[in-house]
Amino acid sequence: MDVQQIIFQFLGGLGIFLFGLKYMGDGLQRSAGDNLRDILNKFTSTPFREVLAGIVVTVLIQSSSGTTVLTVGLVSAGFMKLKQAIGIVMGANIGTTITAFIIGFDIGAYALPIIAAGALLLFFFKRPFINSLGQVIFGFGALFYGLELMGDGLRPLENLEVFTDAMVTLSQNPILGVVSGTLFTFMLQSSSATIGILQELYSQGSMSLDAALPILFGSNIGTTITAILAAIGASVAAKRTSASHVIFNLSGTIVILLLLSPFTSLVSYLSTQLSLNAAMQIAFAHGMFNVFNVLVQMWFISQIAALVTKLVPGDDALIEYDSSNLDYSIIQTAPSIALNQAKLEIEQMGEFVSEEFKSMFDYYKNQDEKSRLNTLQLEEVVNKIDGYLTEYLMLISVEDLPLQNSTEHAKLVDVTKYLERIGDHSENVIKNIQEAVKANKKHNKNNKDKVEKVFYDDDLVKLFELVEENIKDAVESFSTDSYALAGKVLKREKDVNKLEDDIRSKFIERLNKGVGLPSDGILFVDIVSNLERMSDHSTKIAKHTLGMRYPFQKQSKIPRHGYLKEVAEPIELP
C-alpha cells in the first residue's frame, strides 16, 4: 500500500468514525429530548449526584464537550452553581470513557449489517422514536466501519522505520507522549477519535503500552481546549467552568505521570487476569484513570471553585433564581395551596421579565454586548420558569378543584403565557437591533467617524418607557391585587397605541426623504410592533387583576376597590 492510499484510507475512515460518533450522539439526544438539561439541573444536590449526572448526560450525547456546554448554560442562567458545574464536568470525564469500552468490543465485522439495520429504521418507519433509534444504530455501525477503515490504513505503519523510531521515543519520554495526545485531540476535536486510533495501533502491535498511555492521558487535556475556545468572549461563569475543566484534567495527568510505572503495571496485571484484548486494555486504562481522578478530586470541588474564581476575576453576573416555590408534594393533598405557590413563582417570573425588558432597553440605548448577553440570559431563565410553571399547573389541573380555584388556575395559566410572550418579544427586539447594528457598521465601514446608534429616536425612547411602565405596573398589580395599578395600565395603553401610530408615520416619512437605510424599515417596524404587543400582553394581565379579561368574569366588585378614583381620567370598561 503506497503512502497516498494509507493517508486516504485513514482520513476517510476517520471522517466516517467522527460522523458515526456524532450521528449516534444526536440520535441519543433526540430520544432523550429536553430531559438532558433536566438531569443536569435536578440531580445535582450532592457531589456524588453531580458526578453521576455528568456521566449519564455524556453517555447519552457521546460528547464531554457537549455536556460542558449545557452545564455552562445552566450556570450562566442561574439554575446551577459553579461548584455543581465542576462536579458535572468531572462526571463528563468518566462518561466519555464509555466510547472506548464500546470500541473495545470487536464487532467491526458486523459494521455493515448494523448500518443496514439503522438505515431500515430511518427510512421505512415514520415514528420519531423509531427514527431516533435508527439514527443511533446507523451511527453505531458507521463508528465501527470507520474504525475498521482506519485500522486497515494504519496497519502498514508498523513496517515503517520512521514510525517505529517515533514510538520508541514516545515510550521513553512520557511528557512528549502527553503533548502528542493533546495536540492530536485538539486537531480532531474529539478525544474519542484519538483513543480509537490509539486502540487500533496498540491492537496491531505498532505501539507499546508505555507509549500508548501518555498519549491517552494527553487526550484528556486536549478535549479541554474545545471548552476553552467556547469560553472566549463568553460570560465569566463560562470561563470559570472551562478553567475548572482544564485544572481538573491537567492536575490529574500530572499526578498519574508521577505514578506511571505502578499504573502501567496495574493495567498489565488486570489485562492478564481478565483476559482483555488490546483495545479493551486501553479502554480499562482510560476508565481507571478518569475514575481515580474523579474519586480524588471530587473532595476538593470547593477549593477548585475558589481557585478558578481567583484565576478568572470579575463580576460573574449570575442570576439568582429561587427554585423553592413549586412544591410538588402538596399538589394532591392541598391543590389550593399549590395554586398560591404557583402565583409566587409567577411573581418571580414577572420580576425576571421586567429585568429582561430593562436590559433590552439598555441594549437599545447603548448597543453594548453586555446588555445583549444579559437579555438573552434572562430570556433563558424566563423560558425555564415557564416550563416549570406549565408542568406544575398541568399537574394541578387534574385535581378536583372548586369553581373559584378553577378560575384562579385558568388565570395563572394565562398570565404565565403572557409573561413568557413578553420575554419572547424582548428577544425579538434584541435580534432586530443587532441585525440593524451589523448593517449600519457594514454601510459605514469606510466612514468610521459617521457610525451612529441605529434607530435612536426620542419618540421611540418614549415608547420604550411607556411599555416598561406598563409591564412593571401590570406585574405589580397582579402580585398585589392592585386595581389602581391595573387601571393605570389600561389608561397608558391608549398612549402606547397613539405613539405607535405616530412613530410609524414619522419613520415612513423619513424613509421617503431618503434618511436612513431602506433595509432598516422592516426591522424598525418589527421593533415598534414588538413593543406594542408587549404592552398588549401587559394590558391582558391588568384585566385579569381587574377580573374583566373574559366576559364570564365578574365586574361587580371593581368599584369597591375605588381604583377609578386613583386614575386621572375614567376608564371605559369593555
Mean pLDDT of all residues in 458-483: 91
Mean pLDDT of all residues in 174-183: 86
Share of the chain above pLDDT 90, in %: 16
DSSP string for residues in 40-70: HHHS-SSHHHHHHHHHHHHHHHT-HHHHHHH
pLDDT tier, 573 (very low <50, low <70, confident <90, very high otherwise): very low
- Distant-in-sequence, close-in-space partners of 17: CB < 8 Å, separation ≥ 6: 142, 143, 146, 147, 150, 193, 196
> Among residues 255, 270, 143, which one has the least CA distance to residue 200?
143
Question: What's the pLDDT score for residue 556?
Answer: 41
pLDDT above 80: residue 32: no
CA distance 121 to 374: 43
Please state whether 172 falls in left (phi above 0), alpha (psi between -120 and 50) or beta: alpha
Question: What's the pLDDT score for residue 466?
Answer: 93
Q: Where are the alpha helices (DSSP H) in 444-519?
A: 458-480, 483-512
- Total Cβ atoms within 10 A of residue 371: 19
Burial of 89 (0-12, 13-18, 19+ CB in 10 A): buried
pLDDT tier, 477 (very low <50, low <70, confident <90, very high otherwise): very high
Question: What's the pLDDT score for residue 535?
Answer: 93
Vertex 493: Cα angle to 488 and 495 (nearest 5): 105
Question: What's the pLDDT score for residue 62?
Answer: 67
CA distance 146 to 148: 5
Question: What's the pLDDT score for residue 562?
Answer: 43
- Distant-in-sequence, close-in-space partners of 500: CB < 8 Å, separation ≥ 6: 463, 528, 531, 532
pLDDT tier, 271 (very low <50, low <70, confident <90, very high otherwise): confident
Which of 17-26, 245-254, 458-467 is predicted least confidently?
A: 17-26
Q: Which three cell numbers stand for residue 156?
A: 502498514
CA distance 332 to 77: 31
Q: CA torsion sign, 562 to 567 to 571 to 574?
A: negative
Q: What is the pTM of this model?
A: 0.61
Q: Which three cell numbers stand for residue 286?
A: 482510560
Q: Looking at per-residue confidence, does 539 or 9 come out higher?
A: 539
Mean pLDDT of all residues in 380-403: 87
CA distance 229 to 218: 18
For residue 154, which amino acid is it?
L
Question: What's the pLDDT score for residue 534?
Answer: 94
Mean pLDDT of all residues in 126-145: 84
| pLDDT tens-digit series, residues 532-572 | 999 999 999 999 988 876 555 554 444 434 444 444 444 44
Question: What's the pLDDT score for residue 225?
Answer: 75
| pLDDT tens-digit series, residues 79-109 | 677 888 888 888 888 887 887 787 777 676 7
Vertex 386: Cα angle to 398 and 396 (nearest 5): 15
Question: What's the pLDDT score for residue 78?
Answer: 62
Question: What's the pLDDT score for residue 465?
Answer: 92
Question: What's the pLDDT score for residue 346?
Answer: 92
- Total Cβ atoms within 10 A of residue 352: 21
Cβ distance 500 to 528 under 8 Å? yes
The most confident of 18-22, 187-191, 222-226, 386-390, by mean pLDDT: 386-390
pLDDT above 80: residue 316: no
Mean pLDDT of the chain: 80
CA distance 358 to 191: 43
Mean pLDDT of all residues in 184-190: 74
Question: What's the pLDDT score for residue 275?
Answer: 84
Which of 145-154, 212-221, 319-328, 396-405 is predicted least confidently?
A: 319-328
Question: What's the pLDDT score for residue 421?
Answer: 95
Vertex 44: Cα angle to 218 and 328 (nearest 5): 155
How many Å separate Cα 29 from the centre of its chain? 13
How many Å separate Cα 13 from the centre of its chain? 31
Question: What's the pLDDT score for residue 181?
Answer: 84
Alpha carbon separation from 419 to 138, 500, 526, 542 (Å, rounded): 42, 21, 19, 12
| pLDDT tens-digit series, residues 413-463 | 999 999 999 999 999 999 988 888 777 777 666 655 544 566 677 888 899
Mean pLDDT of all residues in 489-512: 84
DSSP string for residues in 65-87: HHHHHHHHHHHHTTSS-HHHHHH
Q: Which three cell numbers stand for residue 326?
A: 413549586
Question: What's the pLDDT score for residue 514?
Answer: 65
- Total Cβ atoms within 10 A of residue 522: 12
Share of the chain above pLDDT 70, in %: 79
Question: What's the pLDDT score for residue 520?
Answer: 62
HSE-CB for 554 with a 13 A CA cutoff: 8
Q: CA torsion sign, 254 to 258 to 261 to 267?
A: negative
| pLDDT tens-digit series, residues 345-375 | 999 999 999 999 999 999 988 888 888 888 8
The most confident of 10-19, 162-171, 300-309, 436-445, by mean pLDDT: 300-309
